[in-house]
Amino acid sequence: MTQLTLHPLLAYSQHELVPGLCTALMWDMRDPPTAARPTSAPHLTLSAHELAEPATAPPMPSLRIMCGVFPQSPDPASGTDWTMEVRATSSSAGLTLGDVLGAVYEGLAVPLVHAEWDALCEKQQKRIGEVFDRRWREAADPAGVRARGVIRADCLLFHTLFGGLAMSFETSRSCVLIVRRPPPVRN
């Protein structure tokens, strides 16, 4: 089987690329992919050309992204699997950087279903509820955001920064999403 390599902006590194960062991409996953910035040029967002670059070598038509931070589905047969399936938007070129970032962004925007919420312990519900309350109160359209309810990104609590993707050792064409928390604000 061919070794699959991730685009350098997606790949997690166990070594710091810049102080405090083990990924070449700075991105709060609650923001659209167009807000992502390379750590090498943090004053710039990714260009349309960069977002169109192949996400993998060799090019792949699809990729599965998993994240161990998400609660396990109470019923795997319910269709509430939190695994993100990324499919290429352009059939000829394979997955692009934009396809992967877009799938992560959209996957985190999915509202929780009642069974998922009910499967959380009381402490998790309280912490996630506090994040949700802060999010809807700070939104441009508080009523609309509140009506939509808790989304998967709320379950990340404060670990909303992209930490990179690491290839899964268990499943082919699968990656593990690494999340991180913003550094503390220094006065």
What pLDDT sits at residue 20?
72
Grade residue 95 by pLDDT with cuts at 50, 70 and 90.
very high
Residue type, 156: L
Is 70 within 8 Å of 82 (Cβ atoms)? yes
pTM (predicted TM-score): 0.88
What does the pLDDT average to over 123-140?
A: 96
Instruction: Compute the distance between CA of residue 131 and CA of residue 125 in angstroms, rounded to an integer.
Output: 10
Grade residue 171 by pLDDT with cuts at 50, 70 and 90.
confident
Q: How many CA atoms lie within 13 A of 163 on its CB side?
A: 19
Residue whose C-alpha is closest to residue 155's, from 23, 36, 67, 31 = 67
Grade residue 17 by pLDDT with cuts at 50, 70 and 90.
confident
